[in-house]
Amino acid sequence: MDLKKIVRDIPDFPKPGIIFKDITPLLQNPEAYKHIVDRFVARYREKPVDVIVGIESRGFLFGSVLAYVLGKSFAIMRKKGKLPYTTVSYTYKLEYGEDTIELHEDAIPKGSRVLIVDDLLATGGTAAAAAHLVEKMGGKVAELAFVIELAFLNGRKALGDYPVFSLIEY
Ligand code: AMP
């Protein structure tokens, strides 16, 4: 199935010069959504993973359904101030300024093997921060999985030795 044909390009969103990869047509198309989940399931069914972490907010769309099918624990990683219980946070640099992501303190049991899921890998800043937060909490990053990878932005490089898997590359 050619998922690239279904992803919608939105030029100049959210600011001039960015081509936003809109994944909503993938969700609207039941065969496409199923195809994506099935490919993730095929890859992770036999891999030792204890916890799946979805990155706010589009990572939830793929991470939660994968956790459901595989029977794994699912944790949501959110921007600062959104989670109600006690959190552990990690602050990372952006092009301008900084950002902070959080997980609930009980989301990652020490020593657990963690699969991090998001919709898209661009520069890798968000995903690297997610991996660092998981490690700060005593988890081990098993892999980072994305539906889309913008390979020309070298996100894999920013992720160093962490294993990366993606379904569509640009
Ligand atoms: P980055 O930290 O640069 O790898 O950015 C990754 C995050 O930003 C992901 O959560 C994506 O959802 C979002 N993102 C970055 N660039 C794009 C793009 N061109 N189209 C859609 N989403 C994007």
The verdict on the CB of residue 66 being under 6 Å from ligand 1 is no
Decide if 51 is inside a domain: yes
Decide if 117 is inside a domain: yes
The verdict on the CB of residue 120 being under 6 Å from ligand 1 is yes
pLDDT, mean of residues 39-62: 98
pLDDT, mean of residues 22-42: 98
What amino acid occupies position 52? I
The verdict on the CB of residue 126 being under 6 Å from ligand 1 is yes
| Of the candidates 95, 102, 114, the residue with the CA atom closest to the CA atom of residue 153 | 95
Residue range 51-81, pLDDT digits in tens: 999 999 999 999 999 999 999 999 999 999 9
Q: The domain containing residue 159 runs over which residues?
A: 47-169
Decide if 31 is inside a domain: no
**Total domains, the chain:** 1
pLDDT for 96: 87
Decide if 15 is inside a domain: no
Active site residue 8: no
Decide if 61 is inside a domain: yes
Q: Which of 58, 78, 102, 149 is catalytic?
A: 58
Active site residue 43: no
Q: Which CATH number characterizes residue 57's domain? A: 3.40.50.2020
Decide if 38 is inside a domain: no
Distance between CA atoms of 17 and 137, rounded to whole angstroms? Answer: 37
Decide if 27 is inside a domain: no
Residue range 127-149, pLDDT digits in tens: 999 999 999 999 999 999 999 99
Which residue, chain included where needed, has tokens 């595989």? 70
